[in-house]
Structure 1
Amino acid sequence: LDANPLSGEPVSITYVHEGEERTVDILPKLYTSGYQLGWNYNYSTQKVSPLNVIKYSFYELKFNIVSTIQSIGFLISGKVGMNEIAGPVGIVNMVGDAVDQSQKYGIRTTLLTLAEFTILISANLGVVNLLPIPALDGGRLVFVLIEAIRRKPVPKEKEAIVHLVGMAALMLLMVFVLFNDIKNIFG
């Protein structure tokens, strides 16, 4: 910052977005806790027709599916670490935090927040379930594809062994995620 953010005048902020340097002027806002500089998520609602409700629901679902796929890509590329994965315990903790933060805006906002979490979790589970991992539906689809290409079934014993190994790997991942959740919550 080149200017005093407490002067009541706009402050120029320079940042880099997608490799391009940009500058914006932001006016710090005085709150009871002091001045704040930045942006805030403003949640608002608008009445729409039932048809638009369906349309916007699909937009929300698409956004969550794309976000889940991008998150998996970030995990694979190392942009996001394994310690940032949340399991059931971490999700319950996040839902509790979201409810605590949204309660001050009323029951409607709290219910909408819970609905958004439900959509996110459903989309996430759907995408993850379709990954080509043995013991998941995506793993079974791989065997169906192999059988279609070979034009003969994979021996059930061999498929069962592959799914058993996949299930064991998933169980180990779940134990890791559980310990990670506990570590992130308690310190």
Structure 2
Amino acid sequence: MTEPTAPYVLGKKPFLYVVVCASGIAGDVGTLITAAQERGWDVGVVATPQALGFLDVEAIEAQTGYPIRSVWRKPGEARPLPPADAIAVAPATFNTVNKWAAGISDTLALGILCEAYGMGTPVAVLPYLNAAQAAHPAYRQSLERLTGMGVLLGSHEPHRPKAGEGADHFRWTEALDLLEPKMAG
């Protein structure tokens, strides 16, 4: 008889990667980290290179206990994060959603997301973009491709262009709500 490997078994905390994209609300990612930790997750952050400028790196690293990853490891370097049991992409930008759906892996964050499909890692995505970007046909096609791959899509509505609004309505914890049923099964 083999032992179960589900992350909630035998006291092992599930490990959540939070992939953060360059967005005006990225600095609030601590909200998701805190909620995940309160729900029993261990958390590591993977940021797109541009997202680093939106984050308080020291505060996030202190909160998670792990370094923020944004570039690939060099050969022979130790893995700074355990393997992901699940991934939350929040906030997900127009750029990241479209590149990910197209299979473009030009950053560590995108590489991890592209591999997640083949590894069977559950992924939830919480897009944050404006209505003009969301109107582009590539975006809708990208969402269709990602959901067809089993990616769990959050419900955030695009905000008005050039308004930078919607941050107060961004449901950070929705990523956890989407992922937790996948983890229990």
Q: Tell me if TM exceeds 0.5.
A: no
Higher relative contact order (CA 8 A, sep 6+): 2
Q: Which has the larger radius of gyration?
A: 1
TM-score norm. by structure 1 comes to: 0.21
Greater fraction of residues in helix? 1
